[in-house]
Amino acid sequence: MHIISVPPALAASSREDCTQGVDWDRVIQACSDVIAEEGNLPGAYSNRCWAHTNKEDYDQAVADCDKAIELDPKWAPAYAARCVVYTNKQEYDRAIADCDKAIELDPKHRIPYASLLIMTMPSRTIQSE
């Protein structure tokens, strides 16, 4: 099971398949360009994290979220994004810790609540034979 995630700025108007047709490499390059031109912006790193997550490049996604958090330890979207990455990697203790931190920093952020709900679903423990 993988959580497909898109930051609000990239979400399509149709919620049926908001990731269809998204060129994640282009998104990654655009975020990298912003970082190169504007400097260290936590939002650029957390947005790039989402793109890496959608490409299932989880190690790079974590690295980008780590950098966003290093730049601004109170940047809730980075904790929320990293929570999704850890959920996809089935590193649930880390995912829960990041969800809790994101909620602490921004109780209205929806992603950590959704991730916690997904982690409590019984299907996550079922393995295919």
Q: What is the CATH number of the domain that holds 56?
A: 1.25.40.10
Q: In this structure, what is the dihedral angle of CA atoms 119, 121, 122, 128, given to the nearest 10 degrees?
A: -70
pLDDT value for 1 = 39
Quote the longest CA-to-CA distance of the chain.
49
Q: Is residue 109 part of a domain?
A: yes
Instruction: Say yes or no to pLDDT of 15 above 70.
Output: no
Q: In the structure encoding, which two tokens stand for residue 83, read together?
A: 């929570």
What is residue 115's predicted lDDT score, i.e. its pLDDT?
86
- Does residue 111 fall inside a structural domain? yes
Secondary structure of residue 125 in the 3-state scheme: helix
pTM for the whole thing?
Answer: 0.77
Q: What are 73-128's pLDDT values in tens digits?
A: 999 999 999 999 999 999 999 999 999 999 999 999 898 888 888 888 765 444 44
Domain presence at residue 83:
yes
Residue 12 in domain: no
Residue at 100: amino acid letter: D
- 74 inside domain: yes
> Whole domain around residue 62: which residue ranges?
23-123
Residue 7: inside a domain: no
- Asked if residue 71 belongs to a domain, the reply is yes
Q: For residues 35 and 121, is the Cβ–Cβ distance under 8 A?
A: no
Q: Is 43 a residue whose pLDDT tops 60?
A: yes
pLDDT at 123: 59
Is 79 part of a structural domain of the chain? Answer: yes
Domain count, the chain: 1
